[in-house]
Amino acid sequence: MLKPSVLFVSSEVYPFAKSGGLADIAHSLPRALSKDCNIEVIMPLYSFVNRKTYNIVPANESFNISMNGIVYPVELYKCLFEGMSYRFIYSSLLCDRDFLYGPPDSGYEDNALRFALFSRVIIRVLKENSYDVVHLNDWQCGLVPLLIKEDKSINTKTLFTIHNLSYQGVFDYEVLQTLGIDSKYFTMECLEFYGRVNFIKAAIADADMVTTVSPSYAKEILTPEFGCGLEGFLSHHQEKLVGIINGIDTEHFSPSKDKRLEKPYSDLKAKATNKSAYIKATKLKGVRKPLFVFIGRFAWQKGMDLLIEALPIIASYECNIAILGDGEEKYHMALREIAKENSNVHLSFAYDESLSHRMYASADFLLMPSLFEPCGLSQIIAMAYGEVPIVHRVGGLSDTVKDYNDFDAKKAKGFGITFDKPSVDAFLKAIDEAMKLYENKSIYNKIAKHNMACDFSWQESAMSYLNLYEKISKKENL
Ligand code: ADP
């Protein structure tokens, strides 16, 4: 059978530009699929992307996109990086910014226009090339299925992946005209959402298939608690919704090959060298004490309020805590206050890929009290680096981390400490369990060692995507 040809569209791709897990997926999933598909990845060429480092060169294709009578010049670029073919879209409106979507506390005011332009360029690329499937990710390219429906000349099938339903791309009604979109699509069946325009809703309406990043999250988003107002709409389209768990790039996140580490390792004894180096570098005290780390965005979703409330109590235990992240200013302030009072709390306010690897390699436990979590990568990376994650049992966390009380060395799953309710009490109880588990070194080591040996690669999930590509490729146009 012929390999399907796929255009994989993402507003961020590691290592070119990354704000979170989406960039990791857009890096690792196409790679995992590349032996079974002819796959190309396309993203905006933000002005901060280093063209020289990655040898990004003009593709000698430039054209204009017009929306509502205004003309936006666009140039395409390309590069071959680590065997993968990447295409880039440069347009001043989309790319000449300091941030991907806006400063941490807000989005850019013209994001609707920026990403409508992104979607319109994708349409142009689909018209010029014949792909079987376009794999779209998140609201930034959410208009593509609607624009395909409008343009009868495109036969490409659409698969839309929801990485986080709480970011939907919702804008005032007035933007419709600026985007050059016919108001006939402003209906309950398509773009309309409480009187506003919703990009992700249009994608759910018109995509041939919708996936999200874990089976549990696929069920949760059908409920008012996690559906962010789209639970009814998603239930209506449930027959085309599938949850596929994310994997990680096991080359990039491999403790035995990781050049960023003090000492790459494949056993817990060698892992300890990394912990010692990190403890020394941060001037924390007590290499024998358990080291808890938190690595992630400082956002409500990540359970930051819970973490901040619990932190002074955790810090009163014989342990060290290291936090790496960036995000809302109120969380920076609260954390700073706590660290002032507690010398065993170390803060790094940054987005630092290398440091994150060193922290995964040094930590004994990862804290992940997320209120909701579509999939979550940090807990998977942590397990691959021989840590025991402490997670709220929700979404992808419950699919990827099994409770250590049910430990079974024969299971291919990773294990950690899980808690059911996102309350300070439940979280602290889990921390108490962690402290006890750490005392019981033989059991702790057994779990950490097991986690390190698990297969968190894309192998299985990439096959699920491939099956969907093949399934929708065969679908007749209505
Ligand atoms: P998100 O909701 O942010 O996508 P995920 O857990 O799915 O959360 O993915 C987060 C990814 O970003 C992981 O690879 C994690 O290690 C990384 N990450 C998050 N915050 C930082 C940071 N401040 N510095 C470096 N890496 C980070």
> DSSP state, 53?
T
Find the 443 Cα to ligand 1 centroid distance in Å.
28
pLDDT tens readout for residues 399-434: 999 999 999 999 989 999 999 999 999 999 999 999
> Can you give the pLDDT at residue 477?
61
Q: Best substitution site from 12, 24, 214, 358 to test ligand 1's pocket, by max atoms within 8 Å of Cβ?
A: 24
Measured from the Cα of 356, ligand 1's closest atom is: 25
User: What type of residue sits at position 158?
Assistant: T
Find the 326 Cα to ligand 1 centroid distance in Å.
10
Find the 99 Cα to ligand 1 centroid distance in Å.
16
| Assigned token pair, 211 | 């996936």
- Give the Cα separation of 85 and 54 in Å (integer): 12
> Can you give the pLDDT at residue 103?
86
Measured from the Cα of 360, ligand 1's closest atom is: 16
> Can you give the pLDDT at residue 475?
77
pLDDT tens readout for residues 251-261: 999 999 999 99
- Give the Cα separation of 209 and 233 in Å (integer): 14
Q: Which of 471, 465, 475, 412 is nearest to 32 (CA)?
A: 465
Find the 455 Cα to ligand 1 centroid distance in Å.
20
> Can you give the pLDDT at residue 2?
83
| Assigned token pair, 271 | 């892992």
Structural domain boundaries in the chain: 5-247+459-473, 268-453
Measured from the Cα of 353, ligand 1's closest atom is: 25
pLDDT over 70, % of the chain: 99
Q: Give alpha helix (H) positions in 207-323.
A: 215-220, 231-236, 268-282, 304-315
Is pLDDT above 70 for 14? yes
pTM of the model: 0.95
| Assigned token pair, 259 | 């050049």
- CA torsion sign, 246 to 250 to 252 to 253? positive
> Can you give the pLDDT at residue 1?
64
ipTM > 0.90 for the complex: yes
157 has binding-site annotation: no
Which residue lies with its CA nearest to atom 22 of ligand 1? Answer: 351
pLDDT tens readout for residues 83-105: 999 999 999 999 999 999 998 77
Find the 220 Cα to ligand 1 centroid distance in Å.
22
Measured from the Cα of 324, ligand 1's closest atom is: 23
State how beta strands 209-212 and 157-162 pair.
parallel
Contact 192, 198 (CB under 8 A): yes
Within 6 A (CB) of ligand 1 lie 20-21, 24, 295-297, 324-326, 351-353, 356, 375-378, 381
Measured from the Cα of 368, ligand 1's closest atom is: 6
> Can you give the pLDDT at residue 106?
82
Which residue lies with its CA nearest to atom 26 of ligand 1? Answer: 353
Q: Best substitution site from 214, 297, 392 to test ligand 1's pocket, by max atoms within 8 Å of Cβ?
A: 297
Contact 43, 89 (CB under 8 A): yes
Please give the distance of CA 198 from its chain centroid, rounded to a whole number: 21
Measured from the Cα of 301, ligand 1's closest atom is: 2
Measured from the Cα of 164, ligand 1's closest atom is: 2
- Contacts by 224-230, CB closer than 8 A, 24 or more apart: 226/165, 226/372, 226/395, 227/165, 228/165, 228/166, 228/168, 229/193, 229/194, 230/165, 230/168, 230/193, 230/198, 230/200, 230/201, 230/204
Same fold, 5-247+459-473 and 268-453: yes
Contact 451, 388 (CB under 8 A): yes
Contact 324, 350 (CB under 8 A): yes
pLDDT tens readout for residues 218-234: 999 999 999 999 999 99
Angle between helices 304-315 and 424-439 (to 10 degrees): 50
Is pLDDT above 90 for 386? yes
Is pLDDT above 80 for 476? no
Candidates 3.40.190.10, 3.40.50.300, 3.20.20.70, 3.40.50.2000; CATH matching 268-453 = 3.40.50.2000
Which residue lies with its CA nearest to atom 24 of ligand 1? Answer: 351
Measured from the Cα of 379, ligand 1's closest atom is: 6
Instruction: Give DSSP secondary structure letters for 357-368.
Output: HHHHHH-SEEEE
Which residue lies with its CA nearest to atom 3 of ligand 1? Answer: 20
Find the 295 Cα to ligand 1 centroid distance in Å.
7
Q: Which CATH architecture best describes the domain 5-247+459-473?
A: 3-Layer(aba) Sandwich (3.40)
Contact 125, 151 (CB under 8 A): no
> Can you give the pLDDT at residue 104?
73
Q: State mean pLDDT over 288-302.
A: 97
Which residue lies with its CA nearest to atom 20 of ligand 1? Answer: 296
pLDDT tens readout for residues 45-68: 999 999 999 999 999 999 999 999
pLDDT tens readout for residues 175-188: 999 999 999 999 99
- Give the Cα separation of 194 and 90 in Å (integer): 33
Q: Best substitution site from 18, 347, 378 to test ligand 1's pocket, by max atoms within 8 Å of Cβ?
A: 378
Which residue lies with its CA nearest to atom 19 of ligand 1? Answer: 296
Region for 72 from its dihedrals, namely left if φ exceeds 0, alpha if ψ lies in -120 to 50, beta otherwise: beta
Mean pLDDT taken over the chain: 96
Q: Best substitution site from 304, 354, 377, 383 to test ligand 1's pocket, by max atoms within 8 Å of Cβ?
A: 377
Q: State mean pLDDT over 288-304.
A: 97
Is pLDDT above 60 for 478? no
Which residue carries 């570098």 as its tokens? 281
> Can you give the pLDDT at residue 474?
86
Q: Best substitution site from 167, 295, 372, 397 to test ligand 1's pocket, by max atoms within 8 Å of Cβ?
A: 295
3-state secondary structure of 377: coil
> Can you give the pLDDT at residue 304?
98
Contact 242, 209 (CB under 8 A): yes
Q: Which of 357, 355, 347 is nearest to 271 (CA)?
A: 357
